[in-house]
Every structure is written in structure tokens, then in C-alpha cells.
């Protein structure tokens, strides 16, 4: 029976690299995959999943009304062996449930990669539902930029490098905006917990 997997972490833990490596492994053995990327990050990456170490792959861009189950059922091939989704935190609750249906009814493994919490320490909608429904929860680890302990959270910085604690939940960016930190330093830097 196929499973729904959630690989989660903070920024800079290698989520996209891990996804791209998994995709490569399937392709190397002659199997098909479908790769998806939520619209929130597609413009910055020009419709590709891109890792910081230079790997990339073209992705199918999805909006909030995209129906994963209907699309995959219609477009699956005989060799379709895995569905891969980057930036899964941006999925809706309904979309996560559709992905569970892909695993359960179409018997195709689904591997989702995403960030667990936002810059305010709150769960993203997609991450919350994946934490509830996924068969496997796999934490990819990275380190706190302040102390070297395991990072579990992320802080957002403005153009003057000051910590931001209010604003839009979604601001797409990389190391120029976000810094992975442990809970202790998140507390110290944001005063939100």
C-alpha cells in the first residue's frame, strides 16, 4: 500500500535537494514521477524546483483550486511510481486530503516537502494537515545560525536586518530574508513565545 510522506524542516535543511535526489533515483531506474510546486513560489523559481546546490527540475504549477487527485488519475502512466511536491506548506487542507486519496486509492506514493512553521511560529495550513494525515513524518535537520543546536523555527528579517514579527504569512525569499534558529533563539529574537 502506498503512503503519504511529509519531509519537513526549517529553511536550509535540504528539502528541495532531497526531493530532486528522489526524483533522480526514480528516473534512473526508468520510472515516471510527477513533480508539483505551489504557485506561491513558482514565479521566483521560474516554474522549477531549485536547490541551493544547483540542482533543478521543471514542475507542474498548482494554484489553491488545483485538484491533485483528478489530475493524477487522468495523467498517470503505467510507470508512474511517485508524486513529489515541494513547498507543501502552501497546500490547502483539501489538497492534502486529495494527496492522501492518491496514495490510498491510486496506490501511488506521495512525498511532500515543506516548512512546518512560519516566521511567527504558527503552523502553515498544508503543514498542519500533513502532520495530521501523513503516514510518515520525516524531519530534515539543520542548525541554528546563533548557537549551532538543531534549528526548529525560522525568523524573518527586513531590509535592515531587523527581526520582523508582523505582516503577511507568505513572503517568498531565501537567506536574504529568513534565518533558521532553535526555539530558544526564536523566543529571544521575536518575543512571540
Strands 60-62 and 136-139, how do they pair? unpaired
Distances (CA, A) of 126 to 70, 81, 99, 168, 188: 19, 23, 11, 16, 27
Of the listed 28, 40, 87, 129, which one is catalytic?
A: 87
Q: Is there a catalytic annotation at residue 122?
A: no
Q: Where are the alpha helices (DSSP H) in 67-147?
A: 68-75, 93-105, 125-133
Active site residues: 87
Amino acid at each position: 500500500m502506498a503512503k503519504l510522506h511529509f519531509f519537513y524542516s526549517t529553511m536550509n535543511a535540504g528539502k528541495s535537494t532531497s526531493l530532486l535526489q528522489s526524483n533522480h533515483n526514480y528516473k534512473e531506474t526508468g520510472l515516471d514521477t510527477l513533480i508539483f510546486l505551489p504557485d506561491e513560489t513558482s514565479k521566483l523559481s521560474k516554474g522549477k524546483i531549485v536547490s541551493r546546490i544547483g540542482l533543478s527540475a521543471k514542475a507542474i504549477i498548482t494554484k489553491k483550486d488545483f485538484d491533485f487527485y483528478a489530475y493524477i488519475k487522468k495523467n498517470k502512466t503505467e510507470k508512474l511510481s511517485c508524486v513529489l511536491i515541494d513547498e507543501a506548506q502552501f497546500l490547502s487542507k483539501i489538497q492534502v486530503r486529495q494527496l492522501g486519496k492518491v496514495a490510498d486509492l491510486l496506490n501511488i506514493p506521495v512525498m511532500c516537502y515543506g516548512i512546518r512553521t512560519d516566521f511567527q511560529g504558527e503552523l502553515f495550513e498544508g503543514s498542519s494537515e500533513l502532520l495530521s494525515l501523513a503516514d510518515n513524518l520525516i524531519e530534515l535537520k539543520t542548525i541554528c545560525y546563533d548557537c549551532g543546536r538543531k534549528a526548529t523555527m525560522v525568523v524573518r528579517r527586513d531590509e535592515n536586518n531587523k527581526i520582523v514579527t508582523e505582516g503577511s504569512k507568505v513572503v517568498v525569499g531565501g537567506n536574504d530574508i529568513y534565518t533558521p534558529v532553535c526555539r530558544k533563539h526564536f523566543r529571544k529574537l521575536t518575543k512571540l513565545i
